[in-house]
Amino acid sequence: MTLFAADKRSKLRELRRETAADSPASVTPGRVRKLRARRLRHYHHSLALLEERIPESALVTELRDELNGLLRNRNLAPAL
């Protein structure tokens, strides 16, 4: 589970870099927005699983913080 948590944290950071590269004036194609929303839903589900299985893990805390930061900074609330 620790390896799974580390992988999800890494992939979420990749997503954060992708969204940060978008300029505020750019129009992100709908297909890309849908894919990002799908990935965010996946990370939310992964976080829920990890919070059940290894809630005391620092990786779980970091994943939660990364996800919350991404949503706060980019206003990317997923449709769950």
Q: Count Cβ atoms below 10 Å from residue 19 Cβ, excluding itself.
A: 16
pLDDT for residue 71: 86
Q: What tens digit of pLDDT does each residue of 11-57 get? A: 999 998 888 777 655 667 888 888 988 999 999 999 999 999 999 99
Rounded mean pLDDT, 62-79? 78
In order, the DSSP letters of 15-41 are: HHHHHHHS-TT----HHHHHHHHHHHH
If we measure between CA atoms, which residue out of 62, 73, 78 comes closest to residue 8? 62
d(CA 40, CA 52): 19
| pTM (2 d.p.) | 0.81
Q: Residue 79 — pLDDT band, cuts 50, 70, 90?
A: very low
